[in-house]
Structure 1
Amino acid sequence: MRRILVPTDFSDQARNAFEVAVAIARQTGAAIKLLHVVEMPYSYSFSATGDLVGGNGMEQVYMMKLLENTKYRMAELERSVEHDGVEVVQEVDADNVIRKIRRVINDDKVDLVVMGSKGASGMDEFLIGSNTEKVVRTAECPVLTVKGPIPNLQIRNIVLPSDFKREIGTAVEKFKYFQQMFGAKLHLVYINTPGAFESSSNLRARMQKAAERYGLQNFTINVYNDTIEEDGILHFAEEIGADLVMMATHGRTGLSHLLSGSIAEDLVNHSDIPVLTFHLK
């Protein structure tokens, strides 16, 4: 791992994400980029020399002051987290948040995005969702979402929920990489729901076969009964004292996403445990 991206809105959750990113960077030798994106009216843009173009004189003064203040807050954020020995660079830009994050991921060849999540519920979640959820849905690299502070990052137990069918193979090497990086035990779990119930013996046999096929090590096999998948994952993770939930997402967009949703995105919104997601291409 060489590059970690930490988008920030200066919230407590974003600072928690920065602290986690520093802990991971110490383990891997990665460099960190702190990114803040100022959402500006479409009438504004930057010239080739970096000057603000668009709007009237007073509006330009306001926007320039806003950018200056943002750079000051970025410097304060960097100073607030001890990161001796870890390379940290800052970037402040004016753009659409999601578009800018995706561009940085591609241009900088980012290996991991670490983001804070405030979560969402009810109508807010249905209508807008969060920027973190949108990044989880679209990012081509792994995304780690963090809510609360984790002063001493120690990942000892990782929950890996799946149906353990063939498509999981596209993410297995990434699952194994992060398990090995943290030196953690992997808890494979199938959430058995009333609407898609299968016998425990058949499920355990399928999971064992998948584990052998992909060369997994240091793992347990678990079948957990619950009413819906998301609740089952959260309840199982809480029962075993998991430090991380790790799973793949289809990253559906548009109408199909509204109709079917995504378990990974729901977990990002509702889990107090960090969630590491991988986009299945």
Structure 2
Amino acid sequence: MRTILSPTDFSLCARYATDAAAQLARRLDAQLHLLHCMNLPDGWDDWSEQQRSMRPDIQQMVANAQLQLQDLSNAYPNLEVKATVCSGALPKSVAEYVEHAAADLVVMGSHGASGKNEYFIGSNTQKVVREVHCPVLVVKEPLEHINFDKVVFASSFHQKEREAFLKFKEFVKPFVPEIHLVEIHTSSFFDPPYILSRQAMEEFRGLCAPFRCETHVFRNFSVDRGVRAFAEKIGAGLIGISNHHRHPLRRMLSGSNVEALVNHSDIPVLSVDYMDEIDTPAPIERKQQQLSF
């Protein structure tokens, strides 16, 4: 892991995430990138100095943001930090930055969302989880010392989720963790037979070596509540979940377990995406507009 990206709006919640990102960067010998997105006029990056001089209010906003980023960078001595102010919507800007900088991990804070917003609008963090195709760690509480020595990976344990689990294992490897594999049954018609769930998890147990691993089938009214209840029960420091990028209409009608966890879990959540071949989108070229210093 070489590059860790932490988007920030300078809120307290975002600072928790940036502090966690800095801890991880030190531990993993990675570079920390800070990104602040602003609503700037279209084409601002291409405006001439004369054009910009006619908008001193925008110039002052950008200057203030750069100063805040510089102060934030100075809070992490002995760490290589790159700070950028960009224009545009946060989720799209983060996705473009991840691709441009080949970021290995995004660390974000979350205020969560509630009610209809979870399905129709969602928080910026939800949207980043939805759009970014690299692991996203969501932090809601301050983490004085990151020590993911007991972790949960929640999944349906299909073979197509194997790669996502291996990415999760690679992330937690430096902490020499105790790994708990859990599948949540909700007493619905679509729950697989108990014995098949156990068999699927046994295959993933073999991938956990050399770390200690335990497998569980846990029952609850919903996957989101079940994962959170199980993680709290065993005192886990991190929840990992494979994130299937679903069609927007399907997500709106049935919800997303990953996005629900992002909104509701006080325990850090690491979302690791996987995509079926039929879901893989065609490459889209995007132009990133940014102001670096």
Q: Quick one: distance in 1 between partners of 2:202 and 2:166?
A: 17
2:159 is matched with: 166
- Are positions 1:4 and 2:4 aligned together? yes
Instruction: Measure the CA separation in 1 of the matches of 2:217 and 2:199.
Output: 11
- Pairing 1:161-200 to 2, within 5 Å after superposition: 161-195=154-188, 196-200=190-194
Please state how far the C-alpha of 1:11 moved relative to its aligned partner.
0.8
- Which structure 1 residue ranges, 5 or more long, are not aligned? none
Match of 1:70 among 65, 68, 73: 65
Aligned counterpart, 2:33? 33
2:31/2:80 contact within 8 Å kept: yes
- The CA deviation at 1:92 is 0.7
Quote the RMSD (CA, aligned, Å).
2.0
1:227–1:216 CA distance, 2 compared to 1 (3 A): farther
1:279 match: 273
Moved more, 201-210 or 176-185: 201-210
Tell me whether 1:151 sits opposite 2:150 in the alignment.
no
Change (3 A) 1:19 1:214: closer
Counterpart residue number, 1:102 = 95
Q: What secondary structure does 1:233 align onto?
A: helix
Corresponding residue number in structure 1 for 2:285:
none
Alignment of structure 1 residues 198-217 onto 2, 5 Å: 198-212=192-206, 217=211
What is the distance in 2 between the residues matched to 1:53 and 1:145?
39
Give the aligned length: 274
Paired with 1:76 and 1:6, the residues of 2 have a C-alpha distance of 15
TM-score normalised by L of structure 1: 0.91
- Structure 2 stretches lacking a partner, 5+ long: 276-293
Identity %: 35
Aligned to 2:145, the other structure's residue is in SS state coil
In structure 2, what is the Cα distance between the partners aligned to 1:22 and 1:75? 15
| In structure 2, distance between residues paired with 1:206 and 1:128 | 35
Provide, for residues 176-201 of structure 1, a one-character-per-residue CA deviation record: whole Å limited to 9, x for no partner: 20221222111000111110344544
Give the structure 2 partner of residue 47 of structure 1.
46
On the 8 A contact 2:92/2:131 being kept in 1, the answer is: no
Normalising to structure 2: TM-score of the pair? 0.87
Query: For residues 52 and 86 of structure 1, do their structure 2 counterparts lie closer, same or farther at Cα, with a shift above 3 Å needed?
Result: farther
**d(CA) in 2 for partners of 1:213, 1:91:** 38
Q: Give distance in 2, aligned partners of 1:253 and 1:66.
A: 37
Q: Deviations along 1:54-110, whole A, 9 cap, x unmatched?
A: 8x93xx11111111111121122223x3x2321011101222222221111011110
For the 8 Å contact 1:39–1:97, the answer to whether it is kept is no
Report if the CA contact (8 A) 1:179-1:186 is conserved. no
Q: Give the C-alpha shift of residue 217 in structure 1.
A: 3.5
Q: Is the 8 A contact 1:250 1:262 kept in 2?
A: no
Contact 2:36–2:86 at 8 Å: present in 1 too? yes
Structure 1 runs of 4+ aligned residues shifted over 6 Å read: none
Superposed CA deviations along residues 127-181 of structure 1, whole A, max 9, x for unmatched, are: 3101111111111111001011011111111111111111111213202202212
